[in-house]
A and B are shown apart, each in its own frame.
Chain A
Amino acid sequence: MVALVIRRSIQSVVVMLVVALLAFTLFRYVGDPVAMMVGQDTSLVERAALREKLGLNDPVPLQFARFVVNTAQGQFGISYQIGRPVAELLVERMPATLELSLVAALFALFIGIPMGVYTALNPKKWLSTVFLTISLIGISLPTFLIGILLILLFGVVLGWLPTFGRGEVVQLGWWTTGFLTASGWKSLLMPAFTLGMFQLTLIMRLVRSEMLEVLLTDYIKFARARGLSNRAVNFGHALKNTLVPVITITGLQLGSIIAFAIITETVFQWPGMGLLFIQAISLVDIPIMSAYLVLIAMFFVVINLIVDILYHVVDPRLRVDVRGAQG
């Protein structure tokens, strides 16, 4: 187990370096930050001086080395546009993204699993067909379209829910939460649904196919032969075995939910890290872009590591193999 953690950690460092290198290469093609930082009256001489000051004229390997060293020390620099330390900005915006991602993931999980179970157990019923059609729509419609349609329906036509923003938030230390206010919850509903929709369809189909497979296995047949009730068989045995791969996938997908909340945050003007990132792209705010990419890479890496470790802990077969190899 320790060997596993060490091996994975080394791999993680390599992954982060590769991400940093790719991100860095990309930044050279995103545009000119200086053009975005000055007004139309700024003289050409001053623009050139600014470029020099920001180190944009230095050779690429030097810029990259500087970037890696600074990042390793946690110094992400000051945003070109906003003028505040990037670390502070990310910390301020993180609670919004994490809360949204968490609620979206939980929504996908707690709705997706029952739907998946139902469609697996009752494949011929019309409700199953409805669920499957909905899931198809959920996969094919792009996120921003779902978001805009929801805003139109619930925000403009019916007027039940707010069309943008996070509502009233309560400050708890360095965390700002929208969970403690009514307007916070109302604002959370549509974005969480939009973000979780794809996850929901994924989980539903995964649970369905896994369960269908598990229901055909021998141990289920034997359990039925023994006379166990349907509930005991379906939920006590089949579901439990179905859930292991589902939890793995969900864990891995959590990282991508956090990263791809960008689109949802843009549509709903949700003040999270994703919105910060996309604003930074259009304004070529390189410190924010690089810090965000490094942070997301770290999230992915850490989540993957935890999932791998959990998998080893949870699945006895893997543990036996490892011990067998040692013995």
Chain B
Amino acid sequence: MRIKTLVLASAIAAAIAMPGHAKELRFAFQGTLNSFDPYNLNETFHLGTFGNIYEGLVRRGADMAIEPALATSWEVLEPTRWRFHLRKGVKFHNGNAFNADDVVFSAKRVRADGSDLKSRIATDTKVIKVDDYTVDFVTSQPNPILHFEWGTWYIMDKEWTEENDAVAPQSVGGETENYATRHANGTGPFMLESHESGVKTVAVVNPNWWDNANKEHNLTKVVFTPIGSDPTRVAALLSGQIDMAYPIPVQDQQRVADNSGTSMLVGPETRTIFLGMDQFSDELLYSSVKGKNPFKDKRVREALYRAIDIKAIQEKVMRGNSEPSSMMIAPGLTSISPTHFARLGYDPAKAKQLLADAGFGGGFEVGMDCPNDRYVNDEAICTAVVGMLAKVGVKVNLLAQPKAKYFPKVLAPNLDTSFYLLGWTPGSLDSWNVFNNLIGCPRMSDDAPIWNKADREKISIGKFNLGGYCNPKVDALASKILSETDKAKRDAMIEQAWAMTIDDIAYIPLHQQALSWGVSNKVKLAQRVDNVFAWRHVVMQ
């Protein structure tokens, strides 16, 4: 009798103790996680995932606001000297204490050879340890957005990295594996338990996280599986084998929404998709027009812009999952109202008129380059554009390729394109990044030719300005924007610069693509506009 009671009691105890305590989040993404070295690859998914295990001096909240993380506060002592006060009592996952030595070490490591995140801190910026919990950054010129990208500059433990011989960042093309490739020691809310690239990555909760008092999440374990095949990923979500999957292809969104156990989270992303035109060559590389470049004429660019029916693309190609843009940046990342700049309206009659005025009344042929596996429905968008331009007399010969072939072709130094589709997210979530990469005049000096063949690999300003758009007034504004510390003045200059590029029709912006997350109804999470999945906001039932 007693034994029976004992057995019954322990069974009840076990039943009470077991369920409900272990909250395991299982999710899938289309890409794989490669090396876990936080300076190895400057790519959103990697850096976003590492942000759950490592932390930087600052971090981005769910609404993208900059919050203190490993730094509790910071001040600008002089225009070129920033002082960061570090958080006390923080421990790395292996128990080591966090202090200024780790920050100085990480600053050196992120700028070392082999790091892909060198742009986080300028080479000539000095990093000075004032005391164990204070670090100064001395820049060569004022930079009001110095720390904007530091949410993804992760602080590593000096002692751990040195002990494990990982002081040099994982050198791509090297001869041996770096310890940091499969092991991580950060300060974040989760600790890496195991990592098999392309198979599974497992993280467990960090019981000693410094922010546990304010923690939102209730997870004990997170399991990530890469699932490259779209239908398999959707099926895994629908069957309940995983709790969250992204991205969900647009044609499956209705199914996920209709399914009783799951729902869709959609919203605009910070990525702008646009069309670029070669405006610097004297003769287009891929065109029937000889002896001159039609895209140098603003009327031709305007004609192409007006020939595109963005609403049709939004409804038919993107199935409603896009936000047509008038700017080359998501308006939410500026202080400009979304309705301030309007798109040039869809007007094929006017487009034909403009082409005739420019001397191309009979139309012309041009080659177009497009990736087919990089952006949401990229090839479909290009195909739609081809059809729309044909209606105004411009015959487009489309070449759509996988990104591995597309990018080497169109990017510098090859620039082997006349008309192309591209997408851009400014990593610092600030306009200057776009001016510096897409708008800036790509030439070595004011009188050098644009994209001069001999210097192509040395170009640093405008390195993604493949069309060679050049407006010195905008460049002058951009360099002022870089160092203007007064926010109101800076925002005004930004708006002015945008107005100029829009007036010039430097590019044809299309839309902001949309986030597409499929989530089980048992999971509550925060969807960030930069498509980063931060586990610390997840609450599971």
Interface residues of chain A, those whose CB is within 8 Å of chain B, are 30-32, 34-48, 50, 53-54, 78, 80-85, 92, 148, 151-152, 155-156, 159, 162-165, 266-269, 271, 275-276, 278-279, 282-284
Contacts and interface: CB of A to CB of B under 8 A. Distances in A.
A284 B404 contact: yes
A43 B111 CA distance: 13
Interface in B225-263: 225-229, 231-232, 235-236, 238-241
Given A35-B403, A50-B173, A279-B228, 13 more contacts: A39-B116, A42-B119, A45-B458, A92-B196, A156-B235, A162-B241, A164-B235, A267-B229, A269-B226, A269-B232, A271-B198, A271-B199, A282-B373
Given A81-B34, A155-B235, A155-B239, A48 B41 contact: no
B405 A31 contact: yes
Given A83-B35, A83-B172, A84-B181, A44 B197 contact: no
Contacts of B170: 83
Contacts of B241: 155, 162-164
Given A41-B427, A84-B181, A162-B241, A276 B175 contact: no
Contacts of B408: 31-32, 34-35
Contact of B457 (A48, A162, A266): A48
Interface stretch (B135-143, B185-193, B280-288, B459-467): B459-467
B240 A159 contact: yes
Contacts of A162: 239, 241
Contacts of A84: 177, 181-182, 197
4 smallest CB-CB distances across A and B, nearest first, come from A39-B42, A31-B404, A32-B408, A83-B35
A43 B463 CA distance: 8
14 contacts: A31-B408, A40-B42, A42-B119, A50-B172, A82-B197, A82-B198, A84-B177, A156-B238, A156-B239, A159-B240, A162-B241, A165-B225, A269-B226, A275-B198
A210 to B, nearest CB: 37
B185 to A, nearest CB: 17
Contacts of B172: 37, 50, 54, 80, 83
Q: Which one of B40, B173, B373 has the greatest number of beta carbons of chain A within 10 Å? A: B173
B161 interface: no
Contacts of A80: 172-173
B476 interface: no
Contacts of B182: 84
A278 B235 CA distance: 21
Say which size band chain B's interface belongs to. 35 or more
Nearest to B405: A31
Contacts of A92: 196
Contacts of B126: none
A78 B174 contact: yes
Contacts of A165: 200, 225
Contact of B404 (A30, A83, A269): A30
Interface string B112-131: 00001111000000000000
A7 to B, nearest CB: 38
Nearest to B425: A40
Contact of B459 (A44, A85, A269): A44
A35 B407 contact: yes
A150 B28 CA distance: 20
Interface of B: 32, 34-35, 37, 40-43, 116-119, 170, 172-178, 181-182, 196-200, 225-229, 231-232, 235-236, 238-241, 373, 402-405, 407-408, 411-413, 424, 427, 437, 456-460, 463-464
B177 A276 contact: no
A164 B198 contact: no
Contact of A40 (B236, B403, B464): B464
B115 to A, nearest CB: 10
A282 to B, nearest CB: 6
A101 B119 CA distance: 47
A275 B197 CA distance: 11
B231 A151 contact: yes
A164 B232 contact: yes
Contact of B411 (A35, A83, A163, A275): A35
Given A83-B37, A271-B199, A42 B42 contact: yes
Given A44-B413, A267-B229, A279 B32 contact: yes
Contacts of B174: 78, 83
Given A40-B464, A81-B34, A275-B198, A54 B173 contact: yes
B404 A282 contact: yes
Given A82-B35, A83-B35, A163 B197 contact: no
A279 B32 CA distance: 9
Contact of B198 (A44, A83, A279): A279
A52 to B, nearest CB: 10
B448 to A, nearest CB: 15
A85 B182 CA distance: 12
A43 B460 contact: yes
Contact of B178 (A45, A81, A83, A278): A83
Contacts of B225: 164-165, 269
B231 A44 contact: no
B342 to A, nearest CB: 29
B239 A45 contact: no
Contacts of A47: 457
B228 A38 contact: no
B177 A83 contact: yes
A78 B464 contact: no
Contacts of A278: 228
Contacts of A45: 457-458, 460
Nearest to A147: B232
Nearest to A89: B197
B182 to A, nearest CB: 8
A192 B32 CA distance: 24
Nearest to B407: A35
A283 B228 contact: no
Contacts of B197: 81-82, 84
Contacts of A35: 403-404, 407-408, 411
Contacts of A37: 41, 172
A31 B238 CA distance: 35
A86 B403 CA distance: 23
Given A35-B404, A82-B34, A148-B231, A44 B412 contact: yes
B198 A276 contact: yes
Contacts of A34: 408
B239 A32 contact: no
Contacts of A276: 198
B404 A38 contact: no
A151 B240 CA distance: 13
Contacts of B181: 82-84
Nearest to B172: A37
Contact of B232 (A31, A46, A268, A282): A268
